[in-house]
C-alpha cells in the first residue's frame, strides 16, 4: 500500500511540474495551448533514447546514447525548448484565442501521428523502453522508489520557487498586462509577441523537464501512454487549484491526480463492461471542470493581486466570497459613483 | 507657444479594400500644444490615430514623430519613442490591481527582463516598494488611492477613465493622443478630465484630443483641426473656425437649417 501511494504521489508531483508550465502559458499569458503534452512526451522520449544506449534490431530509434540521467534531462529540455520555439513562433505571431488553440492542437496531433508511424524516430507504435533506476543499482527496488519520489518532490519545490518568484516579479506583471489587453500593453511600449513567446518557451521547458522525470518514473514510453487530449486533465488541475497562482496549481495537481484520477480506479466496473470505470473517470473530470467554472472560476486559491500589502483580504476569507472576476459595470454606474460624485 | 513640430503628417492615405478612410491628409502638431481633432463620424480621425500609432500601416504618405519616420514601426516601438494613445473605450488591464495598472503604465522596461526577474527578485521588489509612495500620491490625485488594491475590472466607467489618465501621467509621454476621452462621461467627471488634460500639458506633454463634445474642445484646446472625408479641411483657433464655411457645412451645422 505504501508503494502504491508513493507511485501515485510521484505521478502527481511530476504532473505538478507540467501544470506549472502550462499555467504560465495559459494562466499568465492567456494562451490556451494544447500542444504542451507533445513537449512533455518529447521530453520523455528524448530522455529515454539518450540514456538506454544503441537500439538493437528490430527496435529502432535515433541517437541511442548512454548519457548520465541528469545530463540527458538537461539536453531533453533544451531540445524541447528549441522545438517549442518553432511552434510558438508560428502560433503566437498573429494567432490568438481559439485560432491559437487550434494551431497548437493541430501541431500536437501531427507530432503524435509522426511518432506513431515513423518508426526510425522513436520506434513508432511500440515505443522506447529500458530506462530503469537512473541511480545505477545502488539502491534496492523499494528504496529507489522512495528516493525517486523525494527527488521529484525536490524538483517540484525548486520549480515552484522559481515560478512563484517570476509570477510576482515585474516580468509576471507585464505578461499579465499583455494577457488582459495586448493593445493597451503595446501602447505602453511592450512587445506583445516577445512577452508571450518568452513565457511560452519557459512553460515548454517545464513541460520538457516533467517529461524527463516521467521517463525515469515509467521507464518505457509508447504512443499508448500519451494522448494529446490528456492535457485536459491538467487544465482541470489548474482550474481547481487557481489559474495564475503557482501555489494553487500545485494544490490542484495533487487534488486532481490523487483525488480524481486515482481514487476513481476504485469505481467498480461490471465484469461484462470493464471500460465503464475509466469512462466514468473521464466523465467525472469533465464534470469537475464544469462545476469549477460555474461556481469557482478563479479556483481554490485565486490569482494574487499585486498590492502594496495593505488592506488585503485574507485568503481564507476569499473562500467564502464569490469569484472576484466581476462583470464589467455598465457606463451608467458613473452616475452613482461615490468617488467621483453624483450626477449634477 | 514653441514652434517646433512634434508630429508631422504628410499626404497620408489609407484605404481598406475599396473604402478610402484617409486621403492625402496633412497636418502638423506643434510641441507643447493641446490640439482638438474634430469632424463628423467617418471623417477618418480614428484612422489617422491608428496610422500614427502604428496599429495600421498607411497606403502612402509619411508620419514623422520628433523628427523620426515612424511608418513601418510597431506600436510598441513608437510608444517607446514617447507616444501614448488611448482608445474610444477605456482599456484597463482588468485582472491587475489598480496599483499594478499604474506600475505597468510607468513602462520601466528594464525591470521586466526575464533574467533580472529571476536573479534579482528581491531588489526589484524593493524598487517597486520605493515607487509605491509616489504612485499612491498620483493615484490619490485621480481619486483612486482607496481602490489601489482592487481589481481594475471592478472600477466604474468613470474611474476607468481616471485610471487611464493616472497611467498616462506615470508614463510621462511626449505626445498623448486621446480618442474620445469624454465618451460616456458625466458632466462632473468631464470637468475633471478637462483638468487632467491641462495637467498633462503642464507636465510637458503635447496632447491631441479627438472629441465630439465641442464646448469641451473649445474650452480645453489651443487649436483645432477639422477633418472631413479623410482629409484636413481646416486648422486654427476654435473661434476662427466658427466662420469657416467648409467647417460649418461639414460639421458644425447651420442654425438656419
**Quick one: pLDDT at residue A116?**
92
Number of CB atoms found within 10 A of residue A101's CB: 18
Report the half-sphere exposure of A243 (CA within 13 A, side-chain side).
Answer: 24
| pLDDT confidence bin for A329, thresholds 50/70/90 | very low
Average pLDDT over every residue of B182-197: 91
Could you please report the per-residue DSSP string of A4-35? HHHHHHHHHHHHHHHHHHHHIIIIIT----S-
> Which residues touch B173 (CB under 8 Å, ≥6 apart)?
B82, B83, B84, B205
Contact B117 A165 (CB under 8 A): yes
Gap between the Cα atoms of B166 and B101, Å rounded:
9
Looking at residue A225, what DSSP letter applies? T
Do the domain assignments include residue A6?
yes
Domain that holds residue A12: 2-227
Name the minimum distance, in Å, from the CA of B16 to any CA of chain A.
19
- Residue among B74, B148, B177 nearest A195 (CA): B74
- The residues with which B210 forms a beta bridge, in sequence order, are B37, B179
Phi-psi group of A102: left, alpha or beta (phi > 0 → left; psi -120 to 50 → alpha; rest → beta): alpha
| pLDDT for residue A343 | 40
Is A327 part of any domain?
A: no
- Which residues of chain B are within 8 Å of residue A326 when distances are taken between CB atoms? 151, 153-154
- For residues A69 and A281, which has the higher predicted lDDT (pLDDT)? A69
Q: Is residue A132 part of a domain?
A: yes
Contact status, residue A115 vs residue A223, Cβ threshold 8 Å: yes
Tell me the count of A-B CB pairs closer than 8 A. Answer: 170
Residue A182 maps to a domain:
yes
Answer yes or no: is pLDDT of B155 > 50.
yes
- Which pLDDT score is estimated for B255? 55
Average pLDDT over residues B3-30: 92
Whether A21 contacts A88, CB under 8 Å: no
Closest by Cβ to A191, choosing from B76, B97, B101: B76
A264-320: pLDDT as tens digits: 777 777 777 777 777 787 888 888 889 988 999 999 999 988 887 664 444 444 444
Chain B environment of A341 (Cβ under 8 Å): 188
Helices (H), chain B: 45-53, 75-80, 98-105, 114-119, 121-141, 157-171, 187-202, 214-220, 238-241, 245-247
pLDDT at A234 over 60: yes
| Nearest C-alpha neighbor of A36 from the set A216, A231, A229 | A231
d(CA A83, CA A205): 10
Percent of chain A with pLDDT over 90: 59
Task: Give the C-alpha separation, B254 to B173, whole Å.
Answer: 38
Kindly indicate the confidence band of residue A137, based on its pLDDT and cuts at 50, 70 and 90.
low
Could you tell me whether strands B223-228 and B34-38 are parallel, antiparallel, or unpaired per DSSP bridges? parallel
In the structure grid, which three cell numbers stand for residue B140, read together?
Answer: 490619490
Walk me through the domains of chain B, giving residue ranges and CATH numbers: 5-92+171-252 (3.40.50.300), 95-154 (no CATH)
pLDDT tens digits along B65-102: 999 999 999 999 999 999 999 999 999 999 999 999 99
Cross-chain residue pair A183–B55, CB shorter than 8 Å: yes
Which of residues 198 through 257 in chain B touch A, CB cutoff 8 A?
none
Please report whether residue A280 resides in a domain: no
Residue with cell 466658427: B242
Q: Residue A332 has what DSSP assignment?
A: G
End-to-end CA separation in angstroms for chain B: 38
What would the mean pLDDT of B149-153 be, rounded to a whole number?
Answer: 92
Per the structure, the count of domains in chain A is 1
Q: How many CB atoms lie within 10 A of CB A214?
A: 26
pLDDT of residue A139: 76
Strand partners for A122:
A61
The mean pLDDT value for A33-54 works out to 94
pLDDT of A149 over the 70 cut: yes
Q: Report angle CA B62, B85, B228 to the nearest 5 degrees.
A: 55
Q: Is there a domain that residue A232 lies in?
A: no
Instruction: Determine the distance in angstroms separating the CA of A313 from the nearest CA of chain B, rounded to an integer.
Output: 10
Tally of residues, chain A: 344
Distances (CA, A) of A280 to A238, A267, A287, A312, B157: 21, 8, 10, 41, 46
Q: What is the mean pLDDT of residues B180-189?
A: 89
Please tell me the distance from the alpha carbon of residue A297 to that of residue A31, in angstroms, as a whole number. 17
Q: How far is CA B156 from the centre of its chain?
A: 20
Q: Is residue A282 situated within a structural domain? A: no
Q: What is the pLDDT of residue B252?
A: 66
pLDDT digits (tens, 9 = 90+) for B198-234: 999 999 999 999 999 999 999 999 999 999 999 999 9
List the 49-78 stretch of B: residues with Cβ below 8 A of A: 53, 55, 74-76
pLDDT digits (tens, 9 = 90+) for A154-176: 999 999 999 999 999 999 999 99
The answer on pLDDT for B150 being more than 70 is yes
Question: Which member of B80, B109, B114 has the closest CB to residue A198?
Answer: B114
Mean per-residue pLDDT, A63-89: 94
Backbone phi, psi, residue A86, to 5°: -75, -50
Residue A56 has which C-alpha cell? Answer: 538493437
In the predicted model, is pLDDT for residue B132 greater than 80? yes
- Grid coordinates representing A129 are 523502453
For residue B250, the 8-state DSSP code is I
Say whether pLDDT at A198 is over 90. Answer: yes
Q: What is the mean pLDDT of chain B?
A: 91
In 3D, which of B187, B168, B167 has the Cα closest to residue B176? B168
The dihedral of CA B101, B105, B106, B110: what is its sign?
A: positive
pLDDT of residue B1: 44
Q: Which pLDDT score, from 0 to 100, does residue A324 have?
A: 47
Beta strands B206-210; A128-129: pairing state: unpaired
Mean pLDDT confidence for A74-85 = 97
Q: What's the pTM value of the predicted model, to 2 decimals?
A: 0.90
| A171 domain residue, yes or no | yes
Q: What is the mean pLDDT of chain A?
A: 86
How many angstroms separate the CA of residue A344 from the nearest CA in chain B? Answer: 7
Is A338 a residue whose pLDDT tops 60? no
B58 burial type by CB count under 10 A (0-12 exposed, 13-18 middle, 19+ buried): buried
Residue B183 reports pLDDT greater than 90 = no
Nearest CA in chain A to B182: A331
Chain B neighbors of A339, CB-CB under 8 A: 143-144, 146-147, 159
The predicted pLDDT at position A141 comes to 79
Identify all chain B residues contacting A168, using CB atoms and an 8 Å cutoff.
121, 125
Residues 102-161 of B with CB under 8 A from A: 103-105, 107-109, 111-114, 117-118, 121, 124-125, 128-129, 132, 136, 143-144, 146-151, 153-159
- Give the per-residue pLDDT at A17: 97
Amino acid at each position: 500500500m505504501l508503494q502504491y501511494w508513493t507511485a501515485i504521489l510521484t505521478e502527481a508531483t511530476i504532473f505538478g511540474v507540467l501544470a506549472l508550465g502550462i499555467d504560465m502559458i495559459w494562466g499568465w499569458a492567456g494562451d490556451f495551448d494544447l500542444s504542451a503534452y507533445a513537449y512533455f512526451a518529447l521530453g520523455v522520449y528524448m530522455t529515454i533514447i539518450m540514456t538506454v544506449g544503441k537500439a538493437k534490431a528490430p527496435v529502432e530509434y535515433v541517437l541511442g546514447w548512454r548519457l548520465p540521467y541528469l545530463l540527458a534531462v538537461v539536453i531533453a529540455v533544451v531540445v524541447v525548448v528549441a522545438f517549442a520555439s518553432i511552434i510558438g513562433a508560428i502560433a503566437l505571431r498573429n494567432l490568438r484565442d481559439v485560432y491559437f488553440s487550434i494551431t497548437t492542437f493541430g501541431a500536437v496531433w501531427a507530432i503524435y501521428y509522426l511518432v506513431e508511424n515513423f518508426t526510425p524516430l522513436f520506434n513508432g507504435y511500440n515505443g522506447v523502453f529500458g530506462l530503469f533506476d537512473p541511480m545505477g543499482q545502488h539502491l534496492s527496488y523499494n528504496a529507489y522508489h522512495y528516493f525517486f519520489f523525494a527527488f521529484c518532490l525536490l524538483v517540484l519545490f525548486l520549480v515552484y520557487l522559481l515560478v512563484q518568484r517570476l509570477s510576482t516579479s515585474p516580468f509576471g506583471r507585464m505578461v499579465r498586462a499583455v494577457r488582459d489587453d495586448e493593445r493597451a500593453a503595446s501602447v505602453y511600449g511592450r512587445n506583445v509577441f516577445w512577452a508571450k513567446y518568452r513565457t511560452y518557451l519557459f512553460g515548454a521547458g517545464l513541460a520538457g523537464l516533467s517529461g524527463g522525470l516521467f521517463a525515469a518514473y515509467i521507464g518505457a514510453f509508447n504512443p499508448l501512454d500519451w494522448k494529446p487530449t490528456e492535457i485536459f486533465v491538467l487544465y482541470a488541475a489548474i482550474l481547481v487549484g487557481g489559474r495564475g497562482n503557482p501555489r494553487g496549481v500545485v494544490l490542484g495537481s495533487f487534488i486532481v491526480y490523487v483525488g480524481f484520477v486515482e481514487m476513481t480506479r476504485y469505481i467498480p466496473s461490471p465484469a461484462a463492461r470493464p471500460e465503464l470505470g475509466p469512462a466514468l473517470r473521464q466523465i467525472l473530470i469533465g464534470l469537475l471542470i464544469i462545476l469549477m467554472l460555474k461556481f469557482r472560476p478563479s479556483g481554490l486559491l485565486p490569482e494574487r493581486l499585486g498590492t502594496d500589502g495593505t488592506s488585503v483580504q485574507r485568503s481564507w476569507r476569499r473562500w467564502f466570497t464569490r469569484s472576484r472576476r466581476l462583470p464589467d459595470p455598465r457606463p451608467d454606474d458613473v452616475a452613482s459613483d461615490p468617488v467621483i460624485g453624483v450626477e449634477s | 507657444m514653441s514652434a517646433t513640430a512634434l508630429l508631422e503628417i504628410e499626404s497620408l492615405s489609407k484605404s481598406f479594400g475599396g473604402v478610402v478612410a484617409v486621403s492625402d491628409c496633412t497636418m502638423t502638431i506643434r510641441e507643447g500644444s493641446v490640439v482638438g481633432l474634430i469632424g463628423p463620424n467617418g471623417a477618418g480621425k480614428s484612422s489617422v490615430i491608428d496610422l500614427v500609432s502604428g496599429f495600421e500601416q498607411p497606403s502612402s504618405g509619411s508620419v514623422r514623430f520628433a523628427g523620426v519616420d515612424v511608418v513601418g514601426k510597431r506600436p510598441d516601438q513608437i510608444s517607446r519613442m514617447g507616444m501614448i494613445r488611448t482608445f474610444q473605450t477605456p482599456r484597463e488591464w482588468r485582472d491587475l490591481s489598480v496599483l499594478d495598472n499604474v506600475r505597468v503604465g510607468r513602462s520601466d522596461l528594464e525591470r521586466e527582463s526575464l533574467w533580472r526577474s529571476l536573479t534579482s527578485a528581491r531588489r526589484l521588489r524593493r524598487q517597486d516598494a520605493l515607487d509605491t509612495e509616489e504612485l499612491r500620491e498620483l493615484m490619490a490625485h485621480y481619486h483612486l488611492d482607496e481602490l489601489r488594491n482592487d481589481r481594475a475590472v471592478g472600477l466604474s466607467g468613470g474611474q476607468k477613465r481616471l485610471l487611464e489618465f493616472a497611467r498616462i501621467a506615470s508614463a510621462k509621454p511626449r505626445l498623448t493622443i486621446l480618442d474620445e476621452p469624454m465618451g460616456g462621461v458625466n458632466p462632473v467627471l468631464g470637468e475633471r478630465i478637462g483638468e487632467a488634460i491641462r495637467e498633462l500639458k503642464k507636465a510637458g506633454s503635447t496632447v491631441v484630443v479627438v472629441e465630439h463634445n465641442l464646448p469641451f474642445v473649445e474650452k480645453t484646446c489651443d487649436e483645432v483641426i477639422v477633418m472631413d472625408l479623410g482629409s484636413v479641411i481646416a486648422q486654427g483657433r476654435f473661434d476662427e473656425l466658427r466662420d469657416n464655411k467648409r467647417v460649418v457645412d461639414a460639421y458644425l451645422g447651420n442654425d438656419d437649417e
